[in-house]
Every structure is written in structure tokens, then in C-alpha cells.
Amino acid sequence: MRESARPQWTDPNCPVARATDLFGDRWSMLIIRDAMDGARTFTDFQQRTGIARNVLTDRLRRLIGYGLMAQVDAPAGKRKHYELTAAGEDLFPVVLALRHWGEEHAFGDGEGHSTLVDATGASVTAPEPLGTDGTPLTSRNTRVVR
């Protein structure tokens, strides 16, 4: 991340707070989601999200400044494309966890929703976090050390 792009940290010692300071707003997360799903152009992001052009411009600048996305030359050479950096790609487990939570808690019984599938067409499920001994981890059996 460029030094000039660094935000004011909400809680400087907390990795969760710092992460959400960088990508935590609704539009940024949807842009990252769509980039993971093949969106590359400004128009792609605008059409998929319905975001206002000025807000999209701001969020793309921030995501680039924070090192989560980059502008690259388009294959045809006319306009720039946007793509995730390695740091942006590392958000895949976060998006997967949000998707899984949304499937479980944001839809009513029988309500349809999109499905993430792998290369074979099989539905992707979020992995369960496990401790070193294989025990499922939850907020009840973990703690933050400061």
C-alpha cells in the first residue's frame, strides 16, 4: 500500500479493524466480488453493481491505492482494465465466508440465490476453521491476545 493511501486506522492494533478500513464498505466488497467473477472494465463494475459513476471512480482509486487492485493495459489497448493484485486475490476466503453466511442467514426458506461453483460445476462450500488439533474453531473457543 502506498504511504499516501494509508487511511486513518479505526483501531490501529486490530487486524480486523485495519482490514475493514481498507475494503470494508459495501461498494468496495462488491467490486472485489465482481473482479473475482470476471469484471474487468469500469463499465463491467458499473453495470453489475448499479453503483454511481463517481462512487465507483472513488472506490477503484482507493482499492488501487491500497494495493488490492491494479490498472493494466487492456488487450485491445484502448482503455485500462482493472484486476486484483495478489493481496486482492487473498480476499477470496473472506468473500467465500460472506457468501456462506449470506446463504445461511440472509435468505428465507426456499428463496433463490446465486451459487458459487468450481470448475466441475459442483457447489463450493466455505471451509470450517479448525484448530491445530482438528477441533472446529468458534468465537467461544478462541481469544484475542493483545
Query: Among residues 14, 121, 34, 49, which one has the least CA distance to residue 81?
Result: 34
CB atoms within 10 A of CB 32: 23
Helices and strands in the chain: count of H runs, count of E runs: 6, 2
Is the pLDDT at 122 greater than 80, yes or no?
A: yes
Is the pLDDT at 2 greater than 70, yes or no?
A: no
**Strand partners for 130:** 136
Tens-place pLDDT, residues 108-121: 999 999 999 999 99
CATH fold group of domain 3-89: Arc Repressor Mutant, subunit A (1.10.10)
C-alpha cell recorded at residue 46: 458499473
Q: Tell me, what's the pLDDT at 22?
A: 83
Is the pLDDT at 10 greater than 70, yes or no?
A: yes
Residue 44 makes CB contacts below 8 A (sequence gap 6+) with 34, 38
User: CB of 82 within 8 A of CB of 69?
Assistant: yes
Mean pLDDT (the chain, rounded): 91
Domain coordinates in residue numbering, the chain: 3-89
* Mean pLDDT of all residues in 29-55: 96
Is the pLDDT at 126 greater than 90, yes or no?
A: no
Q: Tell me, what's the pLDDT at 6?
A: 65
Tens-place pLDDT, residues 59-99: 999 999 999 999 998 887 778 899 999 999 999 999 999 99
User: CB of 28 within 8 A of CB of 62?
Assistant: yes
